[in-house]
Amino acid sequence: MNMNEVFLYLASGLTTIWGVSHLFPTKNVVKGFGAISVDNQRIITMEWIVEGATLIFLGLLIAMVTFIDPNTFMASIVLVCVMAMLLALAVISFFTGFKVDFLPFKICPFIFTTSAVMILLGLLL
């Protein structure tokens, strides 16, 4: 295994694990909002699951591209797109979730940025 593949698989693992970790506390997160309407409970549930599913998808996409052949032009395009999405999520998380007094929200931007940097290293090495 080449060093670039190591970085790509690390990015894949971190992104996928963070996505999975979003799914488990969904019910408690919704409860944390207190007495809100059923529609608002469903919206929060949907958004929480969507972020987890998106991260799992991105992580598995990185792994799949790396497994098939990370050195092709198409793989580079896919990886750059994933990196851009992770950085977009990092910016959104920094300006929203980072201000929430709940540690997992505060570390989201760092996890997304770390994954994006590992993809960049995987592309450059």
**pLDDT in the model for residue 83:** 98
Q: Please write down the HEC assignment for all residues of the chain.
A: CCHHHHHHHHHHHHHHHHHHHHHCCHHHHHHCCCCCCHHHHHHHHHHHHHHHHHHHHHHHHHHHHHHHCCCCHHHHHHHHHHHHHHHHHHHHHHHCHHHCCCHHHHHHHHHHHHHHHHHHHHHHC
Report, as ranges of residue numbers, the positions in the chain whose pLDDT lies below 50.
none
**pLDDT in the model for residue 63:** 98
**pLDDT in the model for residue 122:** 96
pTM greater than the 0.85 cutoff: yes
